[in-house]
Structure 1
Amino acid sequence: MMQISESYNQKNSLFNAMNRFIGAVNNMDQTVMVPSLLRDVPLDDTEDVKAVGTADGTAATNGGTYFHQDADMYSSYVLLKSIRNDIEWGVLQGDERQKEKVDLTEVSRPGAVEDDLQKEFHFHLDGLHTVLSKLTHKANTLTTRYKEEIGCRN
């Protein structure tokens, strides 16, 4: 049985991916002292996002999927903070929505066998790693762009 402390040592662990993302957003949040300065400033890093890889080392090809290309830095800032809060505190769902979600799962996958569940888990885990990598990159890019906009150089 794998202990939780062992998973923290793994480069591609879900815990590490979430911690990298949360750390990048915390750094962004501490750096951006005046979020209103981000309004109407375009986020032009589509080439950088395309270079971000997935957890298994393959290149991600749909860089603009999670962020609207015409979005400004402020909307990205708010989105990244919102996602960080969802990871840290969970997503609140009403009883009706939870019941509907369970009913849809039962209808869409009646009698799923354990092999299918393992494949489904790995599919979603890989997707989560990909999304977290893109979000982490986006937070780091936004922090760098903010520093450039206010004239702060490293």
Structure 2
Amino acid sequence: MMQISESYTQKNSLFNAMNRFIGAVNNMDHTVMVPSLLRDVPLDDEDVKPVSAADAADAANDTAYFHQDADMYSSYVLLKSIRNDIEWGVLQGDERRKDKAGVAEVSRLAAEDDDLEKQFHFHLNGLHAVLSKLTSRADTLTTRYKEEIGCRN
């Protein structure tokens, strides 16, 4: 009985979320043999349409993160870069990925220095959400690449 509850909580652990993302990007990297074929292929997938207002908002946020005018190649490079940052760490002086809205929220939470647990859970939930979206993006990119080259499994 104890193993069932442990496996459930382990499934939702940050470590496992990072491993799922890294695995999806590794799969994408092994599948995409010619990354240049991804150039000029739009990110929009007409086959996948959100069904609820919440899903539509999530989809809008997801594509906003990947830039509206970006192609699948840009996503491929970004996903590999994020994987490398997770595996090898981020340089201390690296300011390239700071989001102004995220910085404002971090500043607000930093003002509430007394509640470190709240700050931790805020960032942990955000990291889980981002990793889930990135994992989904890597899986979608892999599938769409296979479709582009005519390999349907």
Aligned to 1:69: 68
Q: Deviations over 1:121-149 (max 9, x none)?
A: 10010000000000000000000000000
Which residue identity is paired with 1:140?
D
Measure how far apart 1:50 and its partner are. 5.7
Q: Distance in 1 between matches of 2:48 and 2:123?
A: 24
- The 1:65–1:32 alpha-carbon spacing in structure 2 relative to 1, beyond 3 Å, is same
Question: Structure 2: where are the runs of 5+ without partners?
Answer: 1-5, 94-105
Aligned to 1:112: 113
- The 1:12–1:31 alpha-carbon spacing in structure 2 relative to 1, beyond 3 Å, is same
Measure how far apart 1:118 and its partner are. 0.4
Correspondence list, 1:135-150, <5 A: 135-150=134-149
Measure how far apart 1:83 and its partner are. 0.2
Correspondence list, 1:3-152, <5 A: 10-45=10-45, 48=48, 61=58, 62-94=61-93, 109=110, 112-113=113-114, 116-152=115-151
Which residue identity is paired with 1:68?
H
- The 1:12–1:50 alpha-carbon spacing in structure 2 relative to 1, beyond 3 Å, is farther
Q: Distance in 2 between matches of 1:119 and 1:9?
A: 20
Q: Distance in 2 between matches of 1:129 and 1:29?
A: 22
Indicate the larger mover: 37-46 or 23-32.
37-46
Question: Structure 1: where are the runs of 5+ without partners?
Answer: 1-5, 52-57, 95-104
Taking only the aligned residue pairs, the percentage that are identical comes to 78
Question: Would you say how many aligned residue pairs link Structure 1 and Structure 2?
Answer: 131
**When the two structures are superposed, what TM-score results if normalisation uses the length of structure 2?**
0.74
Q: Distance in 2 between matches of 1:152 and 1:92?
A: 38
Secondary structure in 2 matching 1:63? helix
Q: Distance in 2 between matches of 1:34 and 1:109?
A: 44
Measure how far apart 1:64 and its partner are. 2.2
**When the two structures are superposed, what TM-score results if normalisation uses the length of structure 1?**
0.73
Aligned to 2:101: none
Aligned to 1:55: none
Measure how far apart 1:69 and its partner are. 2.5
- The 1:110–1:120 alpha-carbon spacing in structure 2 relative to 1, beyond 3 Å, is closer
Measure how far apart 1:11 and its partner are. 1.5
* CA RMSD between the two structures: 2.8
Higher relative contact order (CA closer than 8 Å, sequence separation 6+): 2
- The 1:48–1:128 alpha-carbon spacing in structure 2 relative to 1, beyond 3 Å, is farther
